[in-house]
Structure 1
Amino acid sequence: MTDGLPAGRAAGGGEPPGGPPPADPAPDAPVPPVGRGGRRRDQAVALGWLVAIWVLLWGDLSWGNLLAGLVIGAAVLLFFPLPPVTFGGRLRPGALLVLAVTFVGELVTASLHVAAVAVRPGFRPRGAIIAVPLRVRTDLNLALTAEVISLVPGTLILDVDRDRGVLYVHVLDVRRPEDLTAGRDRILAVERRIVRAVGSPAEVRQLSLEPVDRRDHP
């Protein structure tokens, strides 16, 4: 079962009431140059996320895991440098706490659900692939949203369309069409919490926009 993207603006033209929609930021806009201090800050943020992901993958918060995460994270940044992903957002402690608490809650709930599906005699769950266009199309938001989704049991990132800002996600135990809509809404809710926690004011304003079908409307 495969679910397509949400329908975009109806064919035939015409602007919606209230004037034209806000312009979608160009994904290929040139990245402003980053100074030495900005590069160090971005590398420190990237190292912190790599360490956090390492600890989450091992599932054990210990000094050994923290040290191993620091060493491996530093090696990844040194020997496998990625294109620069600048952080122009703002850290909001309250929203960060909401993101962390909600993530732990979803992690526990999803783990129990997957466990119940696994031990149910004779039950064969159906999966589906859904395409979810994000509202904030920056590399950082795509990466963070994809990582958080992949860490929750029952959802798995299959592909990322960087140019169009679309995540292709496999979801487990789909029984009716409403489950597809619910899965998409959960992913957009993850994006909203991430942007509110670390996004810029302009990115937070983009959350009020409805996702569009970017396959037909680049």
Structure 2
Amino acid sequence: MTDDLPPGGGATGEPAGVPRAAPAPDAPVPTVGRGGRRRDQAVALGWLVVAWMLLWGDVSWGNLVAGLVIGVAVLLFFPLPPVTFGGRVRPRALLVFAATFVAELVSASVHVAAVALRFGYRPRGAIIAVPLRVRTDLNLALTAEVISLVPGTLILDVDRAAGVLYVHVLDVRGPDDLAESRQRVLAVERRIVRAIGSPDEVRRLDLEPAERRNHP
């Protein structure tokens, strides 16, 4: 396995060379009203149902009802902290995200199948650290979920404070493949943010690394 983490990490075992997030200034926690709380729970329930159906790999009324029951139970017995969705749903960008995800899913499945069927070939793997440009919990979770659903890539760890995903990639032949894998992760993040991110998060996609550190 090829470890792409930069050498010379500190005592904490974290790799050097990964931009660290500047600590966010103390700010009052926004109050979430009852209507906003119910909306957030409805959105969370919808995502839980989608994740449930993806895990089963079958879109049916039975799975839909089971997903609703499981989702309600999760939200009832394991309540999430109040997090307000401040993004904006853009139907066109959401359609582009969905179409691109399906295309990458098919392409990656064919590639992994070809690697598995190649007699005598031993693919090399690598672990890469990918700092995201938008460090919100929602963006981290969605980007990590989408990356893990694509065959050949798997999220191993998430540094929530720094907004870094540690991704295992399959069939790495050289530095160009590592750079391409990083760009693929960042492209997924860009499509997600453009589909449901806030205007400020969309602008943050084009900031330089130094500027991003000044915009926690």
TM norm. shorter chain > 0.5: yes
Q: Does 2:86 match 1:117?
A: no
**Displacement, 1:36?**
0.6
Q: Does 1:127 align with 2:128?
A: no
Does structure 2 retain, via aligned residues, the 8 Å contact 1:149–1:157?
Answer: yes
- Which residue matches 1:2? 3
Structure 2 residue 136 is the aligned partner of structure 1 residue 146? no
In 2: Cα distance, 1:180 partner to 1:115 partner: 20
Alignment partners' CA distance in 2, 1:52 and 1:96: 15
Q: Which residue does the alignment assign to 1:162?
A: 160
The answer to whether the 8 Å contact 2:153/2:168 transfers is yes
SS at match of 1:144: helix
Write the letter of the residue equivalent to 1:167: L
Other-structure match for 2:188: 190
SS in 2 for 1:159: strand
Shift of 1:164: 0.5
Q: Is the 8 A contact 1:27 1:137 kept in 2?
A: no
Q: Give the CA deviation at 1:4.
A: 3.1
Q: What TM-score comes out, normalization by structure 1 length? A: 0.86
Residue 106 of structure 2 aligns with an amino acid whose one-letter code is V
Aligned partner of 2:56: which letter?
A: W
- Kept in 1, the 8 Å contact 2:18–2:129? The answer is no
Cross-structure match for 2:178: 180
CA distance in 1, matches of 2:26, 2:4: 27
- Tell me, which stretches of 5 or more residues in structure 1 are unaligned? 10-22
Counterpart selection for 2:30 from 22, 29, 32: 32
CA contact (8 A) 2:144 2:165 kept: yes
Is 1:88–2:60 an aligned residue pair? no
Instruction: Give 4+ residue runs of structure 1 displaced > 4 Å after superposition.
Output: 5-9, 27-30
Counterpart for residue 208 of structure 1? 206
Mapped partners of 2:60, 2:81: distance in 1: 31
CA distance in 2, matches of 1:165, 1:147: 14
Label 1:104 to 1:27 Cα distance change in 2 as closer, same or farther (>3 A): farther
Question: 2:28, 2:120 → 1: CA distance?
Answer: 54
Shift of 1:70: 0.8
Q: Which residue of 2 aligns with 1:103?
A: 101
Deviation at 1:57, TM superposition (A): 1.4
- Judge conservation of contact 2:123–2:172 (CA < 8 Å) in 1: yes
Equivalent pairs, count: 202
**Aligned with 1:73 (options 52, 71, 74):** 71
Q: Distance in 1 between matches of 2:166 and 2:157?
A: 5
| Structure 2: gaps of 5 or more residues | 7-15
Q: Percent identity?
A: 80
Normalised by the size of structure 2, how large is the TM-score? 0.86
Question: Does the Cα contact within 8 Å between 1:157 and 1:170 map onto a contact in 2?
Answer: yes
Q: 2:81 is aligned with what amino acid?
A: P
